[in-house]
């Protein structure tokens, strides 16, 4: 947030890491863009289902709810987050 002014909310289920890198030094804006791109294009990451008490793999969705608010949720949990009112019904 300090670099871009954007608040990022990451779903509690996201337990894994999204690896990305560059051989070049990145400034703040470039780092943010590379991070978001890595999330959007990554394969499945490890998540944790607290109700079932087990890990699962899922891809992540990057939901831009406003110019300064981004939410990251596991694809399979989107409906749950929408039903709870934690993400917009029609994310972009």
Entry pTM: 0.82
Look-up of token digits 């608010």: 69
> CA 32 to CA 91: how far, in whole Å?
20
Q: Give the residue extent of every domain in the chain.
A: 7-83
Write out the chain's pLDDT in tens, 92 residues: 677 788 999 999 998 777 777 678 888 888 888 888 888 888 898 999 999 999 999 999 999 998 899 999 999 999 999 999 999 877 65
């Amino acid at each position: 947030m300090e670099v871009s002014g954007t608040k990022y909310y990451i779903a509690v289920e996201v337990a894994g890491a999204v690896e990305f890198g560059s051989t070049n030094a990145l400034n703040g804006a470039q780092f943010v863009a590379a991070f978001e791109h890595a999330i959007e294009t990554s394969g499945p990451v490890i998540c944790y289902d607290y109700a079932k008490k087990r890990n699962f793999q899922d891809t992540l969705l990057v939901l831009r709810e406003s110019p300064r608010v981004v939410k990251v949720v596991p694809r399979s949990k989107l409906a749950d987050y929408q039903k709870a009112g934690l993400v917009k019904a029609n994310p972009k």
